[in-house]
Amino acid sequence: MSQEPQSSTDLQQIRLRIREKQRNYASYNLSPAQNDLLRAFFDLAQEFDSNEDFYRVCVAALSEFLGLHSRLYLFDKEQEKLALVCESEKGLRAKPVVAPEHVRLSFKSYESEHSLLVPIHSKPSPESRDEGQQPINMQIMGVLEVYPLEKISKADRFFLRKYANRIGYNLHNRLISHENIRHLRFINNLVMDIEHNVITPNMYFKHLFNQLKARIGDIDELEKMIAGFKAAQGVPSGSCELVISKVSSLHRSLLENHRELLEHHANYSLFLESLFRRDHFAQGRFVLRPRKCSIDREIVSPQLDHFLSRFGARGITVEKPLDMREEELFLRVDVGLLSQVYANFFSNAVKYTGEIIGRNGRARKAIAYGRELLPDYFGPGKAAVKFNVFTTGEHLSETEAKTVFADGVRGERSKAVPGTGHGLAFVKQVVEIHGGVAGYEATEEGNNFYFILPLPDPNNVPVDQG
């Protein structure tokens, strides 16, 4: 659909704003150095893409054109504090530093003992202007501190307010642009998550449907057999027993197919819910819905049951630990997302578990899982729990071990196996938003993939709302 042409009324409003700007600029009476500074600032703000370089431009331009030093402070919404990010004398700070006491948020400029502090306003949205086109309810994004105070003239003060506004407008647009990029990256990754964790597993439905079709064919054959018995004279009792046996076996098979379909559907629905939450798209990142749950009973066991038939078909033995059942562990986690972590581990185990000769001299092709407590892992008094999924087989190479959790990376042995190289990157992302870490380690007889989650402080456990 083509865009409607702009109305003459809209164009007239633009013309009025242009004329207003012409009058304003004429009244500013800026010096040649100030005009050159603004032109250079606009050009360089377009030239440099990174926020870090933009911060450098903001402070360096003042010293180069006007001989004034400056410090750029920005407001950190999460910490609810002003932080120094860049200064003309020392450059960009490696880590933002909390602003000193004399630097505070204010809608108007103010002086300290040695400097002038100018607020940096965000760009007002169209709906935040009154009928006279004056901005209202503008947000303060930071503060520009300029010094030495004795070198700042009255004309400089006026210019610095305008300059700080230009910084704010550019910064506002940059933050929106970076937020949009972050959203797009998240959506692109989510599409891959959907392909890996929803579409591919959903293909298993086809297998189950084919099994049902075969059972239905058995029923058709049985129906013909019964019809033949009915037409025959003197049917032996053994034939009737055969029919009963076949019906009984078929009944059990259909019930098992039905159970598998229900379990697969429940698993599939859980993954759909956890990937398609509205909050994910609104915030451009995975948003957790944690609740207290039994890790083994509600997450590991259902996923393992889902893969048991595939392990069996490949001759893989599943070695279940006793500790996870004897001593149930409860954590507050997102059940849907963490279930997909185990689904990814088990799916890789189906593909890559290899046969080895164990220490006892016998062939071994197995998967094992378990957990172990790690005291003080995240610091003194901050315990953690490590969840392991081990598979027998050839070790990853040194390069593969370092990059296995990177998005799109697949090992040499996996090239002949269908896959996207996204599964372990998804695992890493989910574990990290739970406050944990994911990793890989080679063991004596194979490979161990693991993730580590913090244990709740027993003295500060939140009341469960789930």
> In this structure, are 264 and 163 located in the same domain?
no
Question: What pLDDT band is residue 126 in, cutting at 50, 70 and 90?
Answer: very low
397: helix, coil or strand?
A: coil
Q: Specify whether 253 is located in the same domain as 155.
A: no
CB-based burial label for 30 (10 Å; 0-12, 13-18, 19+): middle
Taking 70 as the threshold, does the pLDDT of residue 420 lie above it? Answer: no
Q: 354: helix, coil or strand?
A: coil
CB 156, CB 389: distance < 8 Å: no
Q: Are residues 266 and 373 in the same domain?
A: yes
Query: Is-contact 73 86, C-beta < 8 A?
Result: no
Residues 220 and 168 in one domain: no
Assess whether 356 and 311 both reside in one domain: yes
- The CATH number of whichever domain residue 27 belongs to comes to 3.30.450.40
Residues 277 and 412 both lie in one domain: yes
Q: Which helix (H) or strand (E) holds 291?
A: strand 291-294
| pLDDT, position 465 | 42
| CA–CA distance, 367 with 349 (Å, rounded to integer) | 7
Which residue range forms the structural domain that includes residue 114? 20-125+137-178
pLDDT tens digits along 82-104: 999 999 999 999 888 899 999 99
Ranges assigned E (strand) in 341-443:
356-357, 363-364, 366-374, 384-392, 437-443
165 and 112 housed in the same domain: yes
Is residue 13 a part of any domain in this protein?
A: no
Which tokens hold the place of 450?
């693991």
Q: How far apart are CA 351 and CA 421, in angstroms?
A: 13
pLDDT over threshold 70, residue 371: yes
The reply to whether 131 falls in a domain is: no
| 154 inside domain | yes
Residue 70: closest CA among 85, 57, 80, 60: 60
Assess whether 156 and 265 both reside in one domain: no
Q: Are residues 413 and 285 in the same domain?
A: yes
Report pLDDT digits (tens) over 251-287.
778 777 777 777 777 777 777 777 777 777 777 778 8
pLDDT at res. 193: 65
Q: Answer whether residue 464 is part of any domain.
A: no
In the chain, the number of structural domains is 2
Question: Would you state the pLDDT for residue 396?
Answer: 92
Written as one letter, the residue type at 289 is R
Question: Domain for residue 191, yes or no?
Answer: no
Give the Cα separation of 33 and 373 in Å (integer). 65
SS3 category, 221: helix
In a domain, 9, yes or no: no
Residues 206 and 144 in one domain: no
Tell me if 281 is assigned to some domain. yes
Peptide bond into 148 cis (omega under 30): yes
Average pLDDT score over residue span 197-222 = 71
Q: What is the dihedral of CA 433, 435, 439, 445, to 10 degrees?
A: -120
Q: Which residues pair with 72 in a beta bridge?
A: 86, 144
Categorize the per-residue pLDDT at 127 as very low, low, confident or very high, splitting at 50, 70 and 90: very low
Tell whether 348 and 433 lie within a shared domain.
yes
Residues sharing a CB contact under 8 Å with residue 65, sequence separation 6 or more, in sequence order: 33, 34, 36, 37, 40
CATH (domain of 305): 3.30.565.10
361 and 402 in a single domain? The answer is yes
Q: Which two tokens stand for residue 220?
A: 């058709």
Q: Which of 131-135, 230-234, 264-268, 369-373 has the lowest mean pLDDT?
A: 131-135
Extended beta strands in 104-251, E state: 110-111, 116-121, 140-147
